[in-house]
Amino acid sequence: MVSITRYAVVDASKAPVVQVRVVGKPTDAGFSQYLEDVEAAFRELDRFALIFDTGDLGQLPARYREQLSRWLAETEPEFRGRWISAAFIIKNRMIRGVLMALYWINKPYYASRVVADEAVAWAWTRRKLDAAGLTAAPTRRSANS
């Protein structure tokens, strides 16, 4: 059995928040596994928010940015209206600025914020969830949804 080098760990234990932490450099298998894990976590929830901590990751290579863009486009019909917000924790000021500029030019279908600190990401996410009426425990989606 071949072991996949993890790119990120996906944690839905704080639902409706799905938390992702980058734990390694992206590889083809690891990045695909990350997308599958996020998609599975999102499918379990009626509505959800994402907090994505890039850790010490530098800029994501172009092929993975393209794969992510395709995944976002493919999953938009399923997740639009359910994906409340995404907070991205990026410590590198330059990369943070680049992502903010990209989101300013090409606004995603969910609220987004790029921050340098986890506490700020959680505070912003809680406000977004409160505004969406998600202060109580989330409803899990049924297998028939």
Sketch the domain layout of the chain as residue ranges: 8-131
Average pLDDT, the chain: 89
Q: What percent of the chain has pLDDT over 70?
A: 91
Whether pLDDT at 144 is above 70: no
3-state SS assignment for residue 109 = coil
3-state SS assignment for residue 6 = coil
**Which CATH code, of 3.40.50.300, 3.30.750.24, 3.40.190.10, 3.40.50.1110, is assigned to 8-131?**
3.30.750.24
DSSP 24: S
**Whole-prediction pTM:** 0.88
Which pLDDT tens digit goes with each residue over 47-73? 999 999 998 887 889 999 899 999 999
Q: Span 86-111, mean pLDDT? A: 85
